[in-house]
Amino acid sequence: MPDDPAARPAAASDALGRLTAADTSWMTTAHWIGLATHWVGPLLVLLTVGQRRPRVRAEAVESLNWEITVAVGLAVAMLLMPTGLGWSAALLVVLCSIGFHLRGAAVASEGRPFHYPVALRLVR
């Protein structure tokens, strides 16, 4: 009887390097969890599941780098508060953060990699 791929138990990825449902689920989680936990969620995904699954690690690193970028953006917004531009800058950073996280989660749910366009690349 030929080997039926659907009958095999799910591993981190199959022998051909294709993503499993668990991979895409964790890739998606690595993006949206930052909305609720900021840098903590992506870091936890990176340090746990990301240690065993390279594609999950790549998405968690992207999300973590984005959260670092958001923190820098909000710090700059705080510095701009005396000029009157701070609130507008902070709002822009928050709206971009929400939009990019949602887009990242949507792209990752399709099994494709997502790169935040303006993120600092500090974690590799």
- Tokens of residue 1, six digits: 């009887």
pLDDT digits (tens, 9 = 90+) for 59-106: 999 999 999 999 999 999 999 999 989 999 999 999 999 999 999 999
For residues 33-48, average pLDDT: 95
Residue 119: C-alpha distances to residues 59, 83, 84, 112 (Å)? 13, 25, 25, 18
Write down the residue that tokens 């974690």 correspond to: 123
Cα separation of the two ends of the chain: 44
Report residue 17's pLDDT band, with 50, 70 and 90 as the boundaries: low
The mean pLDDT value of the chain amounts to 88
Residues in the chain, total: 124
